[in-house]
Amino acid sequence: MRTLSRRGAIGLGAGAVTAAGLAGCGGSKDPDGAKPSAGSGKNRSGSAKPSPSPTAPARPLGDGSTSFTGKQPHQPAAPRPLEPGQEPPQFVVFSWDGAGEVGNGLFPRFLDLAKEHGAAMTFFLSGIYLLPESKKRLYDPPGNRRGASDIGYLTDAHIKDTLKNLRRAWLEGHEIGTHFNGHFCGEGSGSVGNWTSAQWRSEIDQAKGFVKEWRTNSGWTDLPALPFDYDKELVGGRTPCLLGQDKLLPTARALGWRYDASSPGGRQTWPTKKQGLWDLPLQQIPFPGRGFEVLSMDYNMLANQSINSTKAPSHNYPHWRRQAAQAYIQGFKRAFETNRAPFFVGNHFEQWNGGIYMDAVEEAFKHIAREKEKGADVRLVSFRQFVDWLDVQKPEVLAKLRTLEVGQRPAGGWQTFLGAKTPASPRPSAA
């Protein structure tokens, strides 16, 4: 039986146990083979329309690994403040940690799904996924030996596939954030949970460097550049195992980041800022059939179903897939039908337990997209697009939204709850 260890995991690692399950992420350096799992969905790339061209002639940056191509395509209209009494949109963000293509077809599978439904997502790229293993000593991880990585390195072929999918993702309107590099968890001195702000700065600089200099590091000058300026594109990330946020935030703020998605154990309420950045955590959501809630991430579903096994007995798979899908759907419905708090889902490109978690998130995604297609103001967006909306709202409106608890409907309906203040009646004149 295959188990999930803290080392040798692709973008993952064991997190701390909470009442909601494991507050972290996990994975495998060799994720269950190269082929998509049974029931993981057909390859839709043949029917997908080609990616759009950049909006302006490419201007190479640095060594030509990246380029400026103008405004990103497929972005929503400029956000506007809520009108008095207006019902808030239901924002939903699907995000992916690591964002490396490892031969299982999951990156293009979910790009196709998003394209089919006009959605945007956030891909938190691990910088070393663009660094050939032959050059691994270029990575100097804080508190760890040079070249070390708890998620290993991709093959050259998989790096090329990752570059192809990153290019497509950005051109189709998705956000490229960061999951940093070596994914060091645990409690040792080298864990990201113990890094100083200066060490986080080193890790970020290296993660950006591996994206901005993949041509130099690989020698692949015949491949097209990534069509974005990563210094401007990168405005947020998620830390490995949801560790180390407090020391990360001062560095992230100094770099001009706008949000961080690393808080563990968030609740389905409207977000606040922490140290000047929007704090956008994974959330506790209902876990059908259980007396506790689970964090909104595939690893936390697995941790509460098969503990630390990625290949549990297959007779469990149908029930676990339904349970995971319904957890996401119930989490969405709870917000959509009550306080309209944004709903955040985190995942990895993995095939644990026969690929059931990928099938579950696709089922939930389609359920949510159908609500949008029926006319509801449901917006499947990236984290960057969501904070664009937050930043134009009136502070007093956001403060009022934050008074709504998990699953709490606005008293009197939205028109009353967010309505304009009734002008005071004029005082009668003295006789």
| 234, HSE (Cβ side, Cα atoms, 13 Å) | 24
Which residues are within 8 A (CB) of 287 and not within 5 positions of it... i.e. 6 or more apart? 21, 293, 294, 304, 323, 327
Reported as a pLDDT band with limits 50, 70 and 90, residue 267 is very high
How far is Cα 134 from Cα 345, in angstroms, rounded to an integer?
A: 34
CA distance 128 to 122: 18
Give the largest CA-CA distance in the chain. 93
- Partners of 215 in the β-ladder: none
- Mean pLDDT is lowest, of 33-37, 124-128, 142-146, 350-354, for 33-37
326-335 as b/e, with b when 16 or more CB fall inside 10 Å? bbbbbbbbbb
Mean pLDDT within 179-201:
96
pLDDT at position 111, please? Answer: 98
Q: Is 6 left (phi over 0), alpha (psi -120 to 50) or beta?
A: alpha
Strands (E), 130-171: none
With b for 16 or more beta-carbon neighbours within 10 A and e for fewer, the 385-396 pattern comes to: bbbbbbeebeee
Query: Which residue type is seen at 195?
Result: W
Whether the per-residue pLDDT at 422 is higher than 50: the answer is no
Q: What is the pLDDT of residues 283-309, one digit of tens each?
A: 999 999 999 999 999 999 999 999 989
Q: pTM score > 0.85 for this model?
A: yes
38 pLDDT band (50/70/90 cuts)? Answer: very low
In 3D space, the residue among 337, 333, 199, 340 whose CA is nearest the CA of residue 269 turns out to be 340
**Rg from Cα positions in the chain:** 22
Residue 48's pLDDT band (boundaries 50, 70, 90)? very low
pLDDT in tens, 341-360: 999 999 999 999 999 999 99
Per the CB < 8 A criterion, the answer to whether 119 and 369 are in contact is yes
Q: For residue 431, what are its two tokens? A: 């006789």
Token pair of 365 as six digits: 């995604």
Element (H, E) at 412: none
Give the mean pLDDT of 53-72.
90
